[in-house]
A and B are shown apart, each in its own frame.
Chain A
Amino acid sequence: MRRLIALRLAMSVVSLLLVAGFTFSLIRLSPADPVVLALGEGATAAQKQELRRQLGLDRPLAVQFSSWIGGVLVGDFGQSIFTHRPVSQSISDALPVTLSLVSGGIVLAVVIGITLGFIAGLRPGTWVDRLVTSGVSLALAVPGFWLALLLGLWLAVTWRLFPVAGYTPLSENALHWTQGLVLPCLALSVHGAAVIGRHMRGVVIDVMDSPFVEAIRARGTPRSLIVKRYVLKNALVPLLPVIGIQAAVVLATSPVIEKVFVLPGVGTLMVNAVVSSDFMMLQGTILVFATLLIIVNLLIDIGLGILDPRIRPQ
C-alpha cells in the first residue's frame, strides 16, 4: 500500500510539472502582447522595452520558464502585470474560498448521489426508483448556475434564509461561513450528484444480481447484512473513478457559481485574468486548478487501492 501511494505521488508530481510546462507554452502562444495591454497603445517603444526588461520578458523562453517554475516551487508565482500584486498573494486570499466551495460541492455530490443511487438500485422498477431516475435525468439537464440564480432569488432574497452573495471567512464567523456556502455548494453539486446517482443505481443493481450475491444468499445471510457488508463496498470500486470525473466537473464549474454568488475565489481571479490577459495570474490560477484536480485523482487512486485488493501491488 505504501508503495502504491509513493508511486502515485511521484506520478502526480511529474504530471504537475508537465502541466506547468504546457500551461506556460500555451499562454506564450497568445498573439496579445501583455506589455501593450498594460501600458496602453500610446506607450513609446522605450517604455515598452523597459517594462519588458522589468518583467523578464526579453529573456529566452526556456529561461523564463525555469525562473517561473523555480519561483512556483518556493511559492512565488510572479506578479500581476496590472495590479503589481504578487500572484501568490491573490491566490492565497482566494484559495480558502475555492477550497470551501469545491470541497463542499464534491462532498454534497457524493453523499446525495450515493444515497439516491443506493435507494433506487435496491428497488429497481418501483415508484421510488422511477422517481429517482427521472429526477436524475432532469438534474442532468438543469444548468447549475441557473438553479443557483433561482435558489438565490427564492431562498436568499425572498425568504432571507441565506445571504444573497459574498463570502465570510471561517475564522471570522463559522455560522455565516456555513450559511454563505450552502446554496453555492448545492448548486455546484447538482450535476455531479445526478451522474453519481445514476451510476450508483446501475452498479447496485449489478452487484445485487451478481453470482456472489446469489451464493451468499444461498448460504442464508440475511438481505440486510448483504446490503450492509457487501453491496456498498463492491459498488464503490467501479464508482470511485466516476466520482473522480465528477470532482473535476465541480472544479471546472466553480468559476460560474463564484460569479453567481459573488465569491472571491480562484475562479473569479482566473476569469478576470482571461478578460485582461494577465498572463502571470492566468498561469498561476490554471496551475492551482490543475493541482487540485491532481490531488483529487491521487486520493481516488489511493481510495481504489484501499478498496480493491486486485490493484494493490503484491
Chain B
Amino acid sequence: MTDVAVQVAEPSADSSMARDSRKGLRWRLLGQPLTVICFAGIAVLIGVALFAPVLAPFDPNFADIAHRLKGPSSTHWLGTDVLGRDSLSRLLYGARTAVVTSFEAVGLAIIVGIPFGLLIGYFGGWWDRLAMRAMDILQSIPSLIFALAVIAVLGRGANQIAIAVAIVFAIILIRITRGLALRERELLYVDAARVSGLASSRILFREILPNIVGPLIVETAIMLGSAIMIVTMLSFLGLGLNADTPDWGSMLDDARQYQAMQPFMALPPGLAIMFAVLLFNFAGDSLRDALMGTQRSQALRRRKTTRSTRPLTHFGGNNGTTRTDAEVLNVKDLCVAFPYGKKGSMEILSGVEFSLRRGEVVGLVGESGSGKSMTGLATLGLVPTPGIIKRGEIRLGDQNLIAMSDAELNKVRGSEIAMIFQDSVAGLSPVHTIGQQLAEPLQVHQGLSKQDAAKRAVELLSLVGIPDAARRIHDYPHQFSGGMAQRAMIAMALSCGPKVLLADEPTTALDVTIQAQVLDLLGDLTLKFDMAVLLITHDMGVVAETCDRVLVMYAGEIVEEGSAIDVLTRPQHPYSRALLAATPRNEARVGHLPTVPGTVPPPWDWPTGCRFSPRCPHAREKCLAAPIPLKNGVRCIRADELEFAHDP
C-alpha cells in the first residue's frame, strides 16, 4: 500500500514541475522581442476580424460603378475592384472570413483529432493498426485534392471549406497525438496512475494530455497559418463563398481577371495572406524554441570543429627539457579557452603538459568534465568551435602542430597521429561500407589506388581480429557489433602506421568481456606498431591492467603524474586518492558503491587556487591563495604533509 502511495505522489510532482516550466516558458517567450511582436500581430489580426464593420470605411458590397478598377486614392486607400467596391473594406472583411474559417477548421480538427489520437495511441492494438491503415489511405490523396473531393460532396460554402480543411488537419493531428501518446504511455507516471486505479479517461486527459500539450500547441499555431493559405486557395478556385462575403482568395481571383487593367489589385490581398501566415509560422517557431529551451542554440554552438589561427605566445625550439630519442609526442603548456559572457573567455584546459614515448601506454584519468577528451581533441587541433587553443606547444617529432594550418594538420592526422572514440558505431558513417571507410585514409595519406587500398583494408581488418575480413569489408556499420565496430575503428586509426594513438574511452561503451579483448588487442598493437598510446579513461581498473604511466586530470589541469604502480599504490594528490577509493572493486570492504563526493564544477566556478579544494577533505586556507604549481609530479602544496598509503 505504501508503494502505491509513493507512486501516486509522483504524477503530481511531475505536474507541479510542468507548471514551473510553464511559468519559465512564459518568461522565455516574453524575453524575445520578435515573439512579442508576433503575438501582438495575431491579436491585431483577430481584432480586425472582430471589428471589421467599425474599421471599414465603406460597406464592402457598396458598388461605386463610376470609380471601378481605380488605384489607391484618398477616398479608396487601396483602390476599387471591377464593380467599384472599396478594396480596403473588402480586405478588412476578408480578414474576418479568413480568421473565422481557419479557426473553425483548426478547432474542429483539434476536437476530433486530439482525443482520437490519444485513444488509439494509448490503447494501441487492432484499433490503432486499423486507424493507421485508414489514414494511410486517406493520405494517399494529396491534401488539397482531398479537400476538393469533400467540397464536391458537401457542396460549396464557407462552412464546407472549413470542414474539408478540418478533416485534412484532423488526420495530421491524429498521427502526431498518437505518436506522442505512444511515447508517453511507456513512462513511469502513467504506470503509476494505472496502478493506482485511475480511470482511463482521467489518465488520458488529466495525466497524458498536459504532458504532450506543448508540441500540440506548436503544431496548432502553424496549422492556423496553413489553414489561411488553403482556405484562400480553395476560394481562389471558386469553391468558396458567395460573392457578397468578401474574402482574400476571391479578391485574388478578381485581381487575376482584371490584372491587365489594374495590376495593383493583386497586392493587398496577397500581402495580407503572407503576413497572416508569417505571424502564425513565427508564433509556432518561437513557441517551439521556448519549449525546447536552450537545447537548440547550444547544439548549434557545438557544431563544427576548427582550431585557433595562431597561439598567443610562441615557444622557440627546445627550451631546457631533455628529450629522449624515444619521445614522440611532447605537449607543453596547452591552454584551451572558450568565449564566456559578453567579451570574456574561460580556460577549460590550463597548462597541460605530458609526453609520450614509443611503445608506451599512458593513462589519462579523471571524472567526466575534467578535460580528458578535450586534451585529446586539442592535441589533434580539433577543438570544437568556438573554442581556441590559447597557447602551448604540441611537438610531434620535429613538427609543432600548433603552428600548422588545417591543411597541414590533415597530413599529420590519421597518418602520424590517430584517434579513436568511445562510441564506435556512431563513429562510422551508417551509409558507407566498412571497406570504403577503412580504405579512405590509405587513399588520402598514402595515395593508394582503389584496388590496393581495398586489399590492404582486408589485411587490416583481419589484423584487428575480425574473422572473414574479405567478406565483412562489404558490410555496413549496423551489421557490426559494438566491439567489432571498435576493432574496425582501431584498424582505421592504425591503417597508416601512426606513431601516436589517442584512445578516448575506447572500451567504455562495450560489454565487460569485450572490453578485455579490445584492451588486449590495443596492447598487442602498441608493441607491434611500436607506437605511443594515450589511453583516456575514467576506469582505474583499466589503468592498472594496461598503462605504464598515469596522468590524473582534474578541472582542466594535470594534478598528478607518475608510473602506474606509484600512482595506484601511493597516490599523492587527494583527488587521485578519492578516484582510487571510488573504484568499484573496493565495494565489498566499504559496504556500498563508493563515489567521489560531488562533481567537477563547471569551468566558470573553478577557484583561483587549488581547483579541487571545494571537494578536498584536506583543504586549508593556503590552498586557495594562488594557483598551485605541479611539483615533483603533484599539484598539491600539502602533498608532503599528507602521507597517503593506499591499502595494498
Contacts and interface: CB of A to CB of B under 8 A. Distances in A.
A264 interface: no
B155 interface: yes
A211 B415 contact: no
B427 interface: yes
B259 A149 contact: yes
A3 interface: no
A247 to B, nearest CB: 9
B414 A222 contact: no
- Looking at chain B's contact residues, the main secondary structure is helix
Interface in B412-446: 412-415, 418-421, 423, 426-432, 437, 440-441, 444-445
B236 interface: yes
Interface string B390-430: 00000000000000001101111111001111010011111
A219 to B, nearest CB: 3
A210 B302 CA distance: 10
A221 B270 contact: no
Contacts of B252: 143, 145-146, 149
Interface stretch (B133-141, B574-582, B591-599, B602-610): B133-141
Interface string B320-344: 0000000000000000000000000
B464 interface: no
A260 interface: yes
Contacts of B418: 218-219
A252 B153 CA distance: 18
Contacts of A230: 429, 432
A146 to B, nearest CB: 4
B429 A216 contact: yes
B237 to A, nearest CB: 5
Contacts, number: 226
Contacts of B493: 218-219
A216 to B, nearest CB: 7
Contacts of A293: 140-142
Contacts of B441: 219-221
Contacts of B440: 216, 219, 221, 229
Interface stretch (B53-61, B273-281, B529-537): B273-281
A153 B431 contact: no
Given A218-B418, A219-B413, A251 B145 contact: yes
B626 interface: no
A140 B140 contact: no
A310 interface: yes
B521 interface: no
Interface stretch (B225-233, B361-369, B544-552, B628-636): B225-233
B66 interface: no
Given A293-B141, A308-B430, A310-B478, A27 B153 contact: yes
A175 B409 CA distance: 52
A220 B138 contact: no
Contact of A271 (B238, B255, B419, B426): B238
- Chain A CB count within 10 A is highest, among B136, B239, B431, for B431
Interface stretch (A16-24, A83-91, A107-115): A16-24
A259 B299 contact: no
B1 interface: no
B382 interface: yes
A274 B148 contact: yes
Given A217-B305, A222-B410, A211 B426 contact: yes
B22 interface: no
B303 interface: yes
Contacts of A248: 139, 142-143
Interface in A190-219: 205, 208-212, 214-219
B152 A222 contact: no
Nearest to A285: B145
Contacts of B237: 255-256, 259, 271
- Chain B CB count within 10 A is highest, among A30, A137, A153, A214, for A214
A185 interface: no
Contacts of A30: 152-154
Interface residues of A, number: 76
Contacts of B149: 23, 26-27, 274, 282, 286
A277 B260 CA distance: 32
B208 interface: no
Nearest to A29: B153
B338 to A, nearest CB: 15
B108 to A, nearest CB: 18
Interface in A134-153: 137-138, 140-143, 145-147, 149-150, 152-153
Nearest to B386: A125
Given A219-B493, A255-B148, A153 B229 contact: no
B52 interface: no
Nearest to A122: B304
Contact of A212 (B140, B156, B428): B428
A234 interface: yes
- Chain A CB count within 10 A is highest, among B415, B426, B430, B478, for B430
Given A215-B489, A218-B380, A310-B476, A294 B152 contact: no
Nearest to B475: A309
Contacts of A103: none
Contact of B141 (A19, A225, A308): A19
Contacts of A289: 141-142, 145
B266 interface: yes
A142 B229 CA distance: 9
Contacts of B256: 149, 259-260
B158 interface: no
Interface string B508-519: 000000000000
B39 interface: no
B421 A143 contact: no
B426 A220 contact: no
A88 B412 CA distance: 67
A141 B276 CA distance: 8
A271 B270 contact: no
A249 interface: yes
Contacts of A59: none
A282 B141 CA distance: 13
B300 interface: yes
A44 interface: no
Nearest to A12: B140
Contacts of B238: 271, 275
Interface string A132-174: 0000011011110111011011000100000000000000000
A231 B435 CA distance: 18
A233 interface: yes
Interface string A71-109: 000000000000000000000000000000000000000
Nearest to A262: B256
Contacts of B445: 220
B482 to A, nearest CB: 13
B460 to A, nearest CB: 13
A270 interface: yes
Contacts of B138: 22
27 contacts: A15-B137, A26-B153, A29-B153, A125-B300, A141-B278, A143-B232, A146-B266, A153-B263, A157-B259, A157-B260, A209-B303, A212-B426, A216-B437, A219-B414, A220-B413, A220-B445, A221-B440, A222-B410, A230-B432, A233-B429, A234-B431, A248-B139, A251-B145, A271-B239, A297-B140, A308-B430, A310-B478
Interface of B: 136-145, 148-156, 225, 229, 232-233, 236-239, 252, 255-256, 259-260, 263, 266, 269-270, 273-275, 277-278, 281-282, 299-300, 302-305, 380, 382, 406-407, 409-415, 418-421, 423, 426-432, 437, 440-441, 444-445, 476, 478, 489, 492-493
Given A137-B278, A309-B431, 20 more contacts: A15-B136, A15-B137, A19-B137, A23-B141, A30-B154, A125-B300, A137-B282, A143-B273, A146-B273, A216-B437, A220-B415, A221-B441, A222-B410, A270-B145, A274-B152, A282-B152, A289-B141, A293-B142, A310-B430, A310-B478
The 5 closest A-B pairs by CB, nearest first: A220-B414, A219-B414, A252-B142, A220-B413, A146-B270
